[in-house]
Every structure is written in structure tokens, then in C-alpha cells.
Amino acid sequence: MKVFPKPLRLTLALLLALAVAAPASAYVIFLRDGSKIIAAKKFEVQGDQAIITMPNGTRTSIDVVEIDREATEKANQQGYGDAVVIDDGTTRQVKEVDEDENRRRRLSDLAHRETNLDRLEPKRREEPAAVRSAGTTTAGFPNLTALVRQPYSDMEVASQVQRAFRGQGIDSVELYQGTQSGHLLAEVTAASEASVFRSLEVAAEALIAAHDRYPQRIQALELLLTTPDQEPAGQFVLDSDLARELVSGTTEVSRFFVQHVQF
């Protein structure tokens, strides 16, 4: 299994827990920092590590001292495993979770290319043949990882977006032609939780600035986030409305990630 840097590995585990609705047999793991992880079963202790099996079968690990074992055992004895734990600490039975919450909790292809998502039966999108030839994700979105890299034709727009990223200290960005005309693809290397979320925010800011200046020349920014080992860390398609939602703070960045990541 690919080993990620510890801060990013923990982030991936927490986001995976948010992105998928827990099955009835879920096991809730409470962390000492107040976070929660929805797991498929009780964690296994190996040395100083807790090995956690996620609901989709993916295995990850965290330091066992990060787990509040007393709270975890008490919660699961009380039957929290039959409920979805929401951010504010309340619970709702799985059968009561509405369709919008199910959509927000679908598993992103954030950490592993080989993650099995068959049981989620995501709605698939029909794409033009030119896009499908580059491959699609599990849910039927264009696979930005497999897209043939071509220079973006509008140098003025590309230059402005490049400056916006580098002006915020993000130098590991490459720009290409996106999946369709007026779409710019930005590929960014992100090595930590902070850089994943910051790259998403900067991408939104860059699109707004470019769209305001060249409204007829750029309609969307396609963002591909990868780890330093070239593992996928999320992909997004931002139009001006979504970008303004994120920049305005209407939706907190981690929740925006879960709601809009394409898997």
C-alpha cells in the first residue's frame, strides 16, 4: 500500500469517512482532537499504530495514541455504529440520511486508484467521444489524470492564472488545455492537508480573476491535485459560480472538497 506523509494520510482517511455513507455495521472511531472516523470494523493495534479498515475496504493507519479509546468503546457499545455521525456530534440513522447527504458522502477517488466503488452505483455521465477517449473516472467524469497534455491556446489567460498561483506561493503548477474549449487544466502538486485545501482556494481565486477580465475566453478551471508521488488527491471542475461560493466562504473548504470532488 502506498504510504503517504502522516498529515496527508490522516486527512485522506478523514475525508474518505466524510465522503461515504456508513453501512449499518459501521464502527465509529473517536479521536482526541474531536474528529471522528467511520470504519468498517474495530481497529487493529500493531505496535504504536492503529490499522483502520474503511467502509470500502481501504486500509490506513494512524498513531494509536490519537484515538480516544474510552469514548470509542462507549459510543459503539451504545449502538452508534448504526448511525451516521455528523460534524456537530449529532447522529442520524442511516436509513434517514437524505439523498443530498448521500451525495456529499460518496467516496472520492482521493487516495487510491484501485478503490472499489461498485456498491455505490454512482450516476454516470455521458461524455463526448473525444473526452471518453482519454478515459473516465468511476462516476463517469473525464479522467484528468489520463487526459493528453496539450498547451493552453490562450497565452494571456494562462499567464494570468499562472501568476495568480505563483503570487500565492504555489509554484508546482502546470497549465494545459482542458477537456473542452474555454476550460483550462491546472495540475498542482500538494503534499499536505494545508496545501490541498489552499490549492483549491487559490484555483477558485485565479478563475474569478481570469473570468472577470476575459469573460468570453475562459469558462472553467479544471483542477487536478496530485501528491509528490503522483498519486491522485482529487479533481474538480470550477466554474465562476462554484469559485465564488468557495472564495466567499459560503462553504468551508473541507466541506466544499467533499461536495464537489469528482471520483
Q: Write the CB contacts of 129 (distance below 8 Å, at least 6 apart in sequence).
A: none
Which of the two residues, 104 and 172, has the higher pLDDT score? 172
> Residue 15 — very low, low, confident or very high, per pLDDT cuts 50/70/90?
low
Length of the chain: 263
- How far is Cα 9 from Cα 153, in angstroms, rounded to an integer? 36
- Give yes or no for a contact between 222 and 235, defined as CB atoms under 8 angstroms apart: yes
Q: Is 135 left (phi over 0), alpha (psi -120 to 50) or beta?
A: left
Confidence at residue 62, expressed as pLDDT on a 0 to 100 scale: 87
Mean pLDDT (whole number) for 13-40: 66
Q: Tell whether the model's pLDDT for residue 173 goes beyond 90.
A: yes
Q: Which amino acid makes up residue 132?
A: R
Domain ranges of the chain: 6-105, 129-260
Confidence at residue 32, expressed as pLDDT on a 0 to 100 scale: 86
Task: Name the most confidently modeled range: 28-32, 180-184, 258-262.
Answer: 180-184
The CATH architecture that domain 129-260 belongs to is 2-Layer Sandwich (3.30)
pLDDT tens, position by position, 91-135: 333 333 344 444 344 333 333 333 333 333 333 444 444 443 457
> Residue 78 — very low, low, confident or very high, per pLDDT cuts 50/70/90?
low
**Three-state SS letters, the chain:** CCCCCHHHHHHHHHHHHHHCCCCCCCEEEEECCCCEEEECCCCEEECCEEEEECCCCCEEEEEHHHECHHHHHHHHHCCHHHEEECCCCCEEEHHHCCHHHHHHCCCCCCCCCCCCCHHHCCCCCCCCHHHHCCCECCCCCECCCCCCCCCCCCHHHHHHHHHHHHHCCCCCEEEEECCCCCEEEEEEECCCHHHHHHHHHHHHHHHHHHHHHCCCCCCEEEEEEECCCCCEEEEEEEEHHHHHHHHCCCCCHHHHHHHHCCC
Looking at every residue in the chain, the average pLDDT score rounds to: 75
- How far is Cα 66 from Cα 48, in angstroms, rounded to an integer? 10
Q: What percent of the chain has pLDDT over 70?
A: 67
- How far is Cα 58 from Cα 45, in angstroms, rounded to an integer? 16
Which of the two residues, 118 and 169, has the higher pLDDT score? 169
- How far is Cα 69 from Cα 73, in angstroms, rounded to an integer? 6
Fold (CATH) for 6-105: SH3 type barrels. (2.30.30)
